[in-house]
Structure 1
Amino acid sequence: MSPRRITFLPTKATFKLGERLGMGTVGVVYQATSPDIDEPVALKLLHPNVSGDENIVNRFEREIMIMERLNHPHIVKHYGGGIMDGQHFYAMQLLDHGSLKDRLQEQGPLPWPQVAVYTIQIASALQHAHNHGIVHRDLKPSNLFFDEKGNLVLGDFGIARDTHSAEFTDHGMTVGTYAYMAPEQITADSHLGPKADLYSLGCVMYEMLTGSPPFKGANFAQVWEQHLNRDPEPLAKHGVDCPEWLESLVRQLLEKVPHDRPFSARTVQGYLHQHLVEEFGEEEAKELLTNLPSISNTAPIREQPRTWVLWLALAAIVAVCTIAVLRGS
């Protein structure tokens, strides 16, 4: 039996389906190849049983149109979409090196310099989207994927809001992932804008530093109440040792009132870059920003001096004990 082929619209690329990568409630994702594209792609197909649901189809088509407007190294690449045999589909960059969520679950909190670098990358992606009138609304570790160079790439614009469109279909609806939602997102504010993504960025930063989101609870109502009314625990309570300027940024991103957060994602970028240069110097800061840990090696970018002191002290104690045992024998 010959491989199934898909003719893409509006592009001329022809794709050959390969391994199924995943399946959700509304679609299936396959690995696919095309002679017109140098690398394999991920191809998403809507399930036939939801093709008659106007809301799902509209959201799917809107995601395609949004992705066509975005072109950024830290946003998943889009290769077009269309309809095949009544099934909606589109192809995107294949990111098969895991997500930030996977990394945190496997290895726990990240060292603060690495968190700062990843935050610069995420903020850069958000600024590009915001420049095009797009609010992501679902920024979280599971939607941040690693490319082959170890950089983070923002994906899944399925519930993104196009502020340039007059046809909002979700007025009064609360959408997003409750552990990362801004207060104005929880209350379904009709004027929700880019600063909601900045709040989510603060949640992601907090989780990268501590290993868990800033607010937890047995259900969404408990978590929402904290987003609306509580301050997150200081990072020191989680054993995080980072500069005050970094914790100050996290606190500002998690302000309840949008106006109290940083002016823009670009502001966050500039703030972090400036402090990394002040902390490490121009050359080492550049090294941090360009030489991330490889996918197979997630060791910290730079061990803090006090960590080395502890390791050396421990080694000295072990050596003394060993010598004592040998002499005693």
Structure 2
Amino acid sequence: MLKIGSVIDNKYKILSEVGHGGMSTVYLAINERANKTWAVKEVRKDGTFDFEAVKQGLVVETDMLKKFNHPHLPSIIDVIDTADSFLIVMDYIEGRSLKSVLDNGGAQDPDQVIEWGKQICDVLGYLHSRTPSIIYRDMKPANLMLKPDGNVMLIDFGTAREFKNRAMVEDTTCLGTRGYAAPEQFGGMGETTPRTDIYCTGATLYHLLTGHSPAEPPYEIKPLSYWDPAYAGTGLEKIIIKCCQQDPDQRYQSCGELMYALENVHLEDDIAKKSRNRKWWAFLSSIIVCIVAIIGMFITNALKSGAEEETYDYYVAEMKDSADNDFDDIEDYCQKAIDIAPDRPEAYEELVERIGKDSEITGEEKRAIEHCLAAKDDSGTELLSYLQESDQESYDYLCYDLGLLYYFMSDEDNASYDNIEKAAKYFGRVTESKYLKESELQLANSISKIGTYTAKLAAQDNSFKREEIDYDYAMLWQDYMSIISGDVVEKVEKPRYAVVLCKQVALQLAMKDNREGFVKAKIKLEDGHELTLSDIKIEIEKIKTQIEKIDSDDDESLDKSKSNAMAAIDNAIRQIDTALDKEGGK
């Protein structure tokens, strides 16, 4: 076990044990230099199980989680293989599991459970939309953490829990947990699909609503009204029944369908349906009397203005008029506009503009851009490709702006490799554009190469075998110098983007592996001498000067971003000064 107070990997100080079970123990740790707390999961190698098999499973799971970027999923930032154990450093999630909530409080308020259910649908829908789809297969209250703000986090993707004793009541096998698992997860009864997670979600909501665990004998999921007659005939009871059908074809077919049902749960109540039927017949009687007049009015209005609310311009206008905190509406209007006219740029441009208008990217904004960019038509063709076919210039500038936006996002969270890779993807589409300015092409080419290089390093099982990548430190130095040459604000137009760009380049130049690699590469500078650590420091100081000159125009958010960037750069310069002292000032 890790000792309280010990420091691992020269970065993470162990503060306390927060939980244990199976083959693993979880600790609270702090990176004192960054003043940020993390959770460290230790899987020891001295158990009775085949640790190599365990390790292989852990590597697969952690690599998968590193690529995720969702507000209801934890981020993994480090994996450390020591002599005694395998350590995973991830977000520390304050709160308690929903299993603990059930153990202490029994059945939960149905409105609260519906809200949790919608959050579960959101995160599972995100996993199902990956390529290839990720089927979670082990949804249950124990795998959901309730944070102090009332939101839930999905915390466990199997890992060492797959190897627990099968005799336990809630044993997590490689296929799921008995009681919560769908029939097709056991006995070769079929392939697991997104509908498998629908079943598991229904079983989880059942437990939360009734307080009775389906993982206990007789492993049955009864109608909610069996436990509480107040649920009889309610939409919520019908939703759970449909989720937990034995035949996958009889369940909701996607998390989107289940989300819609939860959002409109009371429409399926028996009382509400009877009321709607009575109102329908009354309405039908009156509509017959007025139908001729309505048809006449419809024809007149159609000839005059058409169905205005269904037009592309209407939805773009609604995007512009929506409040900044109504990003669900903004995403919805954007999707509708794109569906109507995928060959027009205005909806994409407005979405990118709204997301990049301040110095903070929210989880809703990240989901919106991902969903809209991934939209496809019935044939599976990416809708964005229609814009490229009809308006190459608008497409090129949109890709350039998307590259900047994703690079800006890389400064927002721990999923920076994924965002830098996406920035490289969109910049890579315009490296030969005939519409971009020379300075913009230069920036797109440099970040495209750097992002591709960074993604390849991150994909090599953390071994970082640079010699296997056709890109050396001399090329990397040249591309970083290209990015910060000239007026950075002119290249990116938005001052906050320029701050992030300068900060990221400065920190990359100061990174120990990079600066040592630059010096060892014996890069020749313009005056003929070889690059030294002092030269690297000079370039970083120049970058800091560029940031200082950026006019914030009384923008408090931009001022804060500038201050944070300069503080980070000052810290990087101090690290180089320390290295210079060790090397005698060279």
Q: Secondary structure at the match of 1:88?
A: strand
Q: Secondary structure at the match of 1:179?
A: coil
Is 1:187 the counterpart of 2:187 in the alignment?
Answer: yes
- Residue deviations 1:45-86, cap 9 Å, x none? 111314962211111111111211222111223223132346
In structure 2, distance between residues paired with 1:2 and 1:57: 24
Matched, 1:92 2:90: yes
Partner of 2:245: 255
**Displacement of 1:36 after TM fit?**
6.1
Distance change (3 Å), C-alpha of 1:23 and 1:105:
closer
Q: CA 1:244–1:43 in structure 2 vs 1: closer, same or farther (change >3 Å)?
A: same
User: 1:201 — aligned with what?
Assistant: 201
Give matches, 1:1-329, under 5 Å. Answer: 3-7=5-9, 14-35=11-32, 39-50=36-47, 53-85=51-83, 87-132=85-130, 133-158=133-158, 175-189=175-189, 191-214=191-214, 216-217=216-217, 223=219, 232-239=221-228, 241-242=230-231, 244-275=234-265
Contact 1:115–1:209, Cα closer than 8 Å, also in 2: yes
SS in 2 for 1:49: coil
Structure 2 equivalent of residue 305 of structure 1:
none
Letter in 2 for 1:17: I
Deviation string, structure 1 residues 116-174 (Cα, Å, up to 9, x no partner): 111001111111111222111211101110122121111110259xxxxxxxxxxxx86
Match for residue 316 of structure 1? none
How far the C-alpha of 1:17 sits from its partner, in A, is 1.3
Give the gaps of 5 or more residues in structure 2: 161-172, 270-324, 326-586
Tell me, yes or no, if the aligned pair for 2:18 and 2:27 is still in contact at 8 Å: yes
Q: Encode CA deviations 1:175-231: one digit per residue, 9 max, x unaligned.
A: 3211211000122456212211111101011111110134641xxxx53xx5xxxxx
> Residues 206 and 48 (structure 1 numbering): CA distance in 2 closer, same or farther, change over 3 Å?
same
Offset of 1:42 from its aligned partner?
1.0
SS at match of 2:150: coil
Gaps of 5+ in 1: 9-13, 161-172, 227-231, 280-285, 287-329
CA distance in 2, matches of 1:114, 1:24: 29
Larger Rg: 2
Q: Secondary structure at the match of 1:32?
A: strand
Q: 1:89 to 1:184 in 2, by over 3 A?
A: same
**Would the aligned equivalents of 2:7 and 2:13 in 1 still touch at CA under 8 Å?**
yes
User: How big is the shift at 1:21?
Assistant: 1.8
1:188 and 1:5, CA in 2 relative to 1: closer, same or farther beyond 3 A? farther
Distance, in Å, in 2 between the alignment partners of 1:2 and 1:180 is: 36
Moved more, 41-50 or 267-276: 267-276
Change (3 A) 1:177 1:278: closer
Q: Name the counterpart of 1:304.
A: none
Cα distance in 1 for partners of 2:224, 2:268 equals 22
TM-score (norm 1): 0.69
Give the stretch that moved more between structures: 176-185 or 21-30. Answer: 21-30
What is the alpha-carbon distance in structure 2 between the residues aligned to residue 29 and residue 118 of structure 1? 25
Q: Is the 8 A contact 1:78 1:93 kept in 2?
A: yes
| C-alpha contact (below 8 Å) 2:43/2:87 kept by paired residues | yes
Query: Take 1:2 and 1:238, find their aligned partners in 2: how far apart are those partners?
Result: 46
From the two aligned structures, give the one with the greater helix fraction: 2
Q: How many residues align?
A: 252
Structure 1 residue identity aligned to 2:182: A
TM-score, with normalisation over the residues of structure 2?
Answer: 0.40
Percent identity between matched residues is 26
Q: Which moved more, 1:89-98 or 1:197-206?
A: 89-98
Deviation at 1:270, TM superposition (A): 2.1
Distance in 2 (alpha carbons) for counterparts of 1:258 and 1:159: 26
Deviations 1:272-326 (A, max 9, x none): 22346999xxxxxx9xxxxxxxxxxxxxxxxxxxxxxxxxxxxxxxxxxxxxxxx
Q: What secondary structure is seen at the aligned counterpart in 2 of 1:41?
A: strand
3-state SS, counterpart of residue 255 of structure 1: coil
Match in the other structure for 1:308? none
Q: How far, CA to CA, are the matches of 1:107 and 1:2 in structure 2?
A: 32
2:179 is paired with a residue whose SS is helix
More contact order relative to length (CA 8 Å, sep ≥ 6): 1
Which secondary structure does the structure 2 equivalent of 1:181 belong to?
Answer: coil
Q: Structure 1 residues 2 and 99 mapped into 2: Cα distance closer, same or farther (>3 Å)?
A: closer
> 1:273/1:17 Cα in 2 relative to 1: closer, same or farther (>3 Å)?
same
Contact kept in structure 2, 1:174 and 1:186, CA below 8 Å: no
Moved more, 15-24 or 50-59: 50-59
| Contact 1:99 1:146 survives alignment (8 Å) | yes
Query: Cα gap change, 1:125/1:38 in structure 2, threshold over 3 Å: closer, same or farther?
Result: farther
Moved more, 65-74 or 237-246: 237-246
Give the match's secondary structure for 2:222. coil
SS of the aligned residue for 1:135 comes to coil
Once the 2 structures are TM-superposed, how far is the Cα of residue 251 of structure 1 from its aligned partner? 0.6
State the one-letter code of the partner of 1:30. Y
CA contact (8 A) 1:98 1:145 kept: yes
Alpha carbons of structure 1 residues 24 and 107: separation in structure 2 relative to 1, 3 Å: closer
**AA of the residue aligned to 2:230:** D
Q: Given the superposition, is the C-alpha separation of residues 86 and 105 from structure 1 closer, same or farther in structure 2, using an over 3 Å criterion?
A: closer
Worse-matched range after superposition: 267-276 or 96-105:
267-276
Match of 1:170 in 2: none
RMSD, aligned CA = 2.9
Residues 192, 38 of structure 1: alpha-carbon distance in 2 compared, 3 angstrom cutoff: farther
Closer, same or farther: CA 202–278 of 1 in aligned 2, 3 Å: closer
Does the CA contact (< 8 Å) of 2:138 and 2:177 recur in 1? Answer: yes
